[in-house]
Chains A and B, each alone.
Chain A
Amino acid sequence: MPVRPHPSATPDLPFGSDSAFLGVEAQPTRDAASVAGAPSALGTEARRRGKRPDWRALLCGGTPREVLARIVDGDPLGLRPRIAAALRAGAWLMDADRVLIRALALCARRGSTYRGRPPIDEWLDARVQESIDDLLEAEHAQPPPTTGAFSDLARPLSLSPERLRAACARFHARPREEREAYVRLVLDRRPLEESGAEPLETARRARRAIQALLGGEGS
Chain B
Amino acid sequence: MNRRVERRPSREELARRRSWARLVADLESHLTEVLCGFVSSQWLELHARCEDELSQVHVTIQGRLLRQAAELCLARDSAGRLWTAAPVRLDAAAWRRAVLEELHLALADRRRVDGHLLACHLMPRDAWPPAEVLARAARRLVPGPTSDLVFARTRFAAGHRREAESRYRAIARSGRLLNGRVHEAAAAAAESRGDLRAALEQNLAARALGAGVRAESAAFVLACVLGERGLALQLAEELELREPERNAAPRDHARIVRELAGRWRSRGITPRSAPETASIVTDCICSADRGLADLCYALLS
Contacts and interface: CB of A to CB of B under 8 A. Distances in A.
Contacts of A173: 175-178, 182
Interface in B32-89: 32-33, 35-40, 42-43, 45-47, 49-51, 53-54, 56-58, 60-61
Contact of B57 (A3, A102, A172): A102
A141 B176 CA distance: 9
Chain A interface bracket (under 10, 10 to 19, 20 to 34, 35 or more): 35 or more
A112 interface: yes
A176 interface: yes
Contacts of A176: 179, 210
Contacts of B60: 134
Given A3-B39, A137-B144, A63 B109 contact: yes
Contacts of A219: 175
A8 B35 CA distance: 12
Contacts of B177: 173
The majority secondary structure among interface residues of chain B is helix
B109 A5 contact: no
A92 to B, nearest CB: 10
A1 B108 contact: no
B43 A10 contact: yes
Contact of B105 (A101, A104, A109): A109
27 contacts: A3-B32, A4-B36, A6-B33, A6-B37, A9-B37, A35-B36, A35-B38, A36-B37, A63-B109, A65-B108, A102-B53, A102-B57, A105-B57, A106-B57, A108-B50, A112-B105, A113-B101, A113-B105, A137-B146, A138-B143, A140-B144, A140-B145, A140-B174, A141-B143, A173-B175, A175-B209, A176-B179
Interface string A178-199: 0000000000000000000000
B31 interface: yes
Interface string A1-33: 101111011110100000000000000000010
Contact of A109 (B28, B54, B178): B54
A42 interface: no
Contacts of A154: none
A11 B51 contact: no
A169 to B, nearest CB: 8
A64 B108 contact: yes
B37 A35 contact: yes
A142 interface: yes
Interface in B189-211: 209-210
B105 A1 contact: no
A69 interface: yes
Contacts of B40: 5-6, 9-11
A213 interface: no
B51 A63 contact: no
Contact of B43 (A3, A9, A108, A141): A9
Contacts of A105: 50, 53-54, 56-57
B146 A175 contact: no
A136 interface: yes
A68 interface: yes
B160 to A, nearest CB: 23
A113 B177 CA distance: 31
Given A3-B35, A109-B105, A140-B145, A11 B46 contact: yes
Q: Interface centre among A13, A105, A108, A113, by most B CB within 10 Å? A: A105
Interface string B114-156: 0000000000000000000000000000111110000000000
A170 B42 CA distance: 32
Interface string A145-183: 000000000000000000000000110110110000000
B215 to A, nearest CB: 14
Given A109-B61, A173-B182, A101 B210 contact: no
A72 interface: yes
Give the 6 A-B residue pairs with the shortest CB-CB distance, closest first.
Answer: A35-B37, A6-B36, A9-B40, A11-B46, A105-B53, A141-B143
B41 to A, nearest CB: 8
B150 to A, nearest CB: 13
A32 B46 CA distance: 11
A173 B51 CA distance: 30
A66 B208 CA distance: 44
A11 B53 contact: no
Nearest to A4: B32
